[in-house]
Structure 1
Amino acid sequence: MSLVTLTLNPAIDQTVTLDSLTPGHVHRARSVWADAGGKGVNVACCLADWGLAVAATGVLGQDNAAPFSQLLAAKGIDDRFVWIPGETRTNLKLLDASRGDTTDINLPGLDIGPSTIEAVRAVLADLTGPGDLAVLAGSLPRSAPTDTYARLTAEMKRRGARVVLDASGPALAAALAARRESLPDAIKPNRHELEEWAGRPLPERADVLVAARELQSRGIALVCVSLGAEGALLVSSEGAVRALPPPTRVASTVGAGDALVAGLVAGLHDRLPLPDLARRALAFAAGKLSRTGANLPGRAEVEALAREIRVERLD
């Protein structure tokens, strides 16, 4: 079973740590570091840390592709990125040390044309077949059609691959509007993204559960709603569960949602039952919170975290 991640709008994430963030004031940084990232890249890094063979593809600007090439080589990830002229964007992340939260400033990405998308499609066709797992993650470049993920998902589903989608806004809406046979196999919206799709507020956990079940009943095998500090809610044909994370020392929240997706993929790879799948996903996220960048602690530590995670049946 092959694993591949797609990142069409990657970024170099520059994280600046501040004692506290006060809008309108001058700040003195405590530290600064940069990570080659983007959602699919982060997912691939976590899967590689777990010990799984994974390929990563997408689009990189050739003028500053070196940090990505170095990262993927260091992690042992099969680098299948398409390079085009220009620079990959840089995103600024302001980490408030007093509160442990992060303010993101995401810059526009590269403009990509039909020929570049066709090159990516060819890579995905080469990497995915029956039973393989593909992760489509992150925002689309501003020049990419809104239905890009929907089209790629449909093509890979026709080849027998399973697709995990982590997207938002119009790109997610287009993918969820597809015919049943072309829907992604798993999605990971947060509460706000689920509210956007549902077209209504979802203030209570019961409301989130109803909306997640609506999506699952439409044909999405696994719906995982990330709820931040409240954990995650998962719905599949096996039922519904809520997983609660253990107390965790937070080094950086950057990439925690991507680690959650990686945990889902690792669990799907091992065909875990729903409660164990939830534990692994939350353990990946908790493990990543203790690290900067898209890095997991060792497998033994992640497995120990999984044993600490409480899973509640919601049936």
Structure 2
Amino acid sequence: MSVTILAPSPTLTVTVEDHPQGSEIHVHAGGQGVWQARMLRRLQVPVTMCCLLTGEVGRTLRHLMEDEDVTVHALTRDGRGSAYVHDRRGGERIVVDEEDGDPIGRHDLDDLYSAMLRSSDPSSVVVLSGPAGDDTIPADFYRRLTIDLRAAGKTVVADLAGERLEAVVTGGVDILKVSHEELKADGLVSAVTDDEIITAMHRLRADGAGAVIVTRAGDPLLLADAQGVLEVTPPPFEETETRGAGDSLTAGLIAALTRSENLRDAITLGAAAGALNVTRHGLGTGDAELIESLREKVTVREVPATGAGDREPEGRVSPDGLAALAEPEASS
């Protein structure tokens, strides 16, 4: 069962690492959608990436992504593509330069929208990831796409924040993943306490999201669905690199959904993939067998409703596609 990922503007990443014989330069495709695709391929899920590739950066990115066995459905244009150069020789990640790339024009947006509808036709799950910069693509693109993909019978998963989060919620996204820092930055919580986060999750569900996942850095993540709220605790590891862990979590969750697992079981594979990724320099990487074994160490508990803020508000319930993934007999 295949997955299609919208990755509007992948990033060419150049990272300088320390090596006993001198500096070592690594060149990879990167960005949220790429990291999700990379982990999905590690978990043996076929992936199509729909994107816009710009200039010489884009030409390089195509080869890098295809080398990772990702099917690339790309529109091309001239201009400046998204790229960065980071220096990690001292142990910390130092930004040498970063470029978001050129905004996507109206005609390219129309073509990208059509390309996404075509690319996703054979897929059961579609992932909407964000662009490299805030001004690259308008938020309403995500609202319209969410509505049309769900109408086509797809399960739509989004890992977004800000106006794009609001857009996919309005469009009725099936599964929304967001971090507690993003909830606070968006003004959805004033403090990152359990009660405030859970209240915000219920509000997002009432506004249109089928299920909401909130990651909380080193604390257990939370899942709110039609059955209530789960607290999910992955095994702890010493952190090497925290970036990409949330994207690995999203990919692990989706990989389990493609196996027809229900949502409450699928979250454990996601938690295992995200936990392992913090031990690695490579973003969106990890050994599939190890991830499967770590899954057994993920603990899940039901969060009891203790007050008005914890009660499920009236509003939209999960769509048919999501309900099939989160059946009542799901383990807790």
TM class, shorter-length: 0.7 to 0.9
Structure 1 position 133, deviation (Å): 1.1
Determine whether 1:250 maps to 2:247: no
| Contact kept in structure 1, 2:3 and 2:125, CA below 8 Å | yes
After superposition, give the CA deviation of every residue in 1:169-198 in whole Å (9 maximum; x if it has no partner). 22222333x2xxx31111111112223445
Query: Which of residues 274, 279, 294 is equivalent to 1:290?
Result: 279
Counterpart Cα distance in 1 of 2:200 and 2:280: 33
Structure 1 position 221, deviation (Å): 1.7
Letter of the 1:159 counterpart: A
Letter of the 2:4 counterpart: V
Q: Which moved more, 1:245-254 or 1:150-159?
A: 245-254
Match of 1:13 in 2: 13
Query: Which of residues 163, 167, 172 is equivalent to 2:165?
Result: 172
Match of 1:239 in 2: 228
Q: Which moved more, 1:158-167 or 1:106-115?
A: 106-115
SS of equivalent residue, structure 2 residue 296: helix
Query: Which of residues 195, 203, 206 is equivalent to 1:214?
Result: 203
Match of 2:75 in 1: 82
Structure 1 position 128, deviation (Å): 2.5
Determine whether 1:301 maps to 2:293: no
Number of corresponding residues: 299
* Mapping of residues 100-115 of structure 1, within 5 Å: 106-115=98-107
Determine whether 1:61 maps to 2:50: no
Counterpart Cα distance in 1 of 2:230 and 2:239: 25
Counterpart Cα distance in 2 of 1:214 and 1:97: 43
Match of 1:52 in 2: 45
Match of 2:139 in 1: 146
TM (normalized to structure 1)?
Answer: 0.84
| Contact kept in structure 1, 2:10 and 2:132, CA below 8 Å | no
Query: Which of residues 175, 179, 186 is equivalent to 2:175?
Result: 186
Letter of the 1:118 counterpart: D
Match of 1:133 in 2: 125
The RMSD of aligned alpha carbons is 2.6
Match of 2:156 in 1: 163
SS of equivalent residue, structure 1 residue 52: coil
> Gaps spanning 5+ residues in structure 1: where?
19-28
After superposition, give the CA deviation of every residue in 1:99-141 in whole Å (9 maximum; x if it has no partner). xx75777533222111211221222121224872111112365
Counterpart Cα distance in 1 of 2:178 and 2:263: 17
Letter of the 2:49 counterpart: A
| Contact kept in structure 1, 2:202 and 2:224, CA below 8 Å | yes
SS of equivalent residue, structure 2 residue 218: helix
Change (3 A) 1:230 1:96: farther
- Percent identity, aligned pairs only? 24
| Contact kept in structure 2, 1:256 and 1:285, CA below 8 Å | yes
Structure 1 position 283, deviation (Å): 0.8
Counterpart Cα distance in 1 of 2:122 and 2:63: 31
Structure 1 position 96, deviation (Å): 9.2
Match of 1:259 in 2: 248
> Gaps spanning 5+ residues in structure 2: where?
305-332
* Mapping of residues 16-31 of structure 1, within 5 Å: 16=16
Counterpart Cα distance in 1 of 2:9 and 2:123: 26
Letter of the 2:282 counterpart: G
Counterpart Cα distance in 1 of 2:191 and 2:94: 24
